[in-house]
Amino acid sequence: MAETANQGAGKEASAFLFEREESLTADTFIRGLWKENPVFVMLLGMCPTLAVTNSTLNALGMGLSTTFVLIFSGALVSSLRNWIPKQVRIASYIVIIATFVTLVDYLIQAISLELYAALGAFIQLIVVNCIILGRAEAYASKQRLLPTIVNSLGTGVGFTLALLSLGTVRELLGSGSILGVQLFSDNFQGWVIMMLPPGGFFVLGTWLLFFNWLRLRKQHPAPSGATVHAR
C-alpha cells in the first residue's frame, strides 16, 4: 500500500479502512476499476476467477451476478450499519449476502438453464466470495448508503472486467470464438490447455505480469539502456 500512502493524507490514506465517512466522488467508483481492482490488485475472489472464465459468457454471467450481490448486500449492510451489533456482524453479513445469492441463483435458473449448468456450484459460492464480504466489512459497514452503492458498483464492474479479460483470451485461444461466435474457419485448432484449469492460471499470471509491468513503469520510468544484472 506504499503507493496510496505516498499520495498523502485524508480519506485516501488507507485503501481499506475509512475512519470517517467518505463523501461521494468520482473516485469512489473508479477506484474499484483500476487502483483497487479486486482481481488484479487485491487478488481476491481467485476461485471464480480461475474456475469459470473458460468462456466469455461464463465470465460475464459470473461477473454480473457478483456485481448484483455486491450492490444489494452492500446497500442493505450500509442501511443497517447502526443496528447490527459488532459481535455478530460477520454472521449478519453472511445472512444478508446469502439472501441475495439465493435470489441470483433462482434468477439465473429462470433466465438460462444452460448458463446455470455451466457456472455450477460457483453461483452458490458467491456467498463466501471474499470480495463481497471484504466490501461489507471494510466499506459498507462504515459508509452511507449512496457512496456504498457507487463503490460496490465500481468494484463489481472491476471484477466483471477482470473476468472478461480472462474469459475472452481463454475462449479465443481455446475455441477460436468470442461469446460463442466463431471468428476463424472450422479448421481452427483449439488450445485445449486454455479450457483446462492450468489455462486459467497461465492467463491470470500473464495479465498480472502485464499490469505490474505497467505500474512499475509508471513508478520508475524506463530504465535507460542495459543495466548489468547482478550475478
Partner 1 sequence: MVKDIEIRSSPHLKRKMTVDRIMRSVVLALMPISAFAVWQFGLSALLLLVTTTGVAVLTEWFFARQSGQGNTIGDWSAVITGLLLGLTLPPGFPLWMAAVAAFVAIALGKALFGGLGYNVMNPALVGRAFVQAAFPVAITTWTPAFAPGRFVELIPSTLTLPFMQPVPVADWVAGLNLDGWTGATPLAMQKFQHLEAPLTDAFTGLIAGSAGETSALLILLCGLWLAWRRMLDWRIPVSVLAGAALTALPFWLLDPHLYPSPGFVLCSGGLMLAAWFMASDMVASPVTAKGAILYGLFIGVLTVVIRLFGGLPEGVMYAILLGNAVGPLISSWTQPRVYGSK
- Residues near partner 1 (CB under 8 A) are 176, 184-185, 187-189, 191-194, 196, 198, 202, 223, 225-229
CA distance 168 to 96: 32
CA distance 119 to 125: 10
CA distance 91 to 52: 27
**Residue closer to partner 1 (CB basis): 19 or 186:** 186
Q: What is the DSSP letter of 42?
A: S
**Residue closer to partner 1 (CB basis): 1 or 228:** 228
**Residue closer to partner 1 (CB basis): 95 or 198:** 198
Task: Please report how close the Cβ of residue 194 comes to partner 1 at its closest, in angstroms.
Answer: 7
Task: Please report how close the Cβ of residue 193 comes to partner 1 at its closest, in angstroms.
Answer: 4
**Residue closer to partner 1 (CB basis): 147 or 199:** 199
Cell numbers given for 11? 480519506
- What type of residue sits at position 166? L
Count of Cβ atoms closer than 10 Å to residue 172 Cβ: 18
Task: Please report how close the Cβ of residue 160 comes to partner 1 at its closest, in angstroms.
Answer: 27
**Residue closer to partner 1 (CB basis): 134 or 190:** 190
CA distance 62 to 115: 9
Task: Please report how close the Cβ of residue 55 comes to partner 1 at its closest, in angstroms.
Answer: 17
Cell 456482524, located at residue: 89
Inter-CA distances, 88 with 91, 125, 136, Å? 6, 21, 13
CA distance 141 to 76: 9
CA distance 92 to 89: 5
Task: Please report how close the Cβ of residue 183 comes to partner 1 at its closest, in angstroms.
Answer: 10
Task: Please report how close the Cβ of residue 106 comes to partner 1 at its closest, in angstroms.
Answer: 37
Q: Are 149 and 74 in contact (CB under 8 A)?
A: yes
**Residue closer to partner 1 (CB basis): 166 or 194:** 194
CA distance 125 to 228: 48
**Residue closer to partner 1 (CB basis): 167 or 199:** 199
Task: Please report how close the Cβ of residue 196 comes to partner 1 at its closest, in angstroms.
Answer: 7
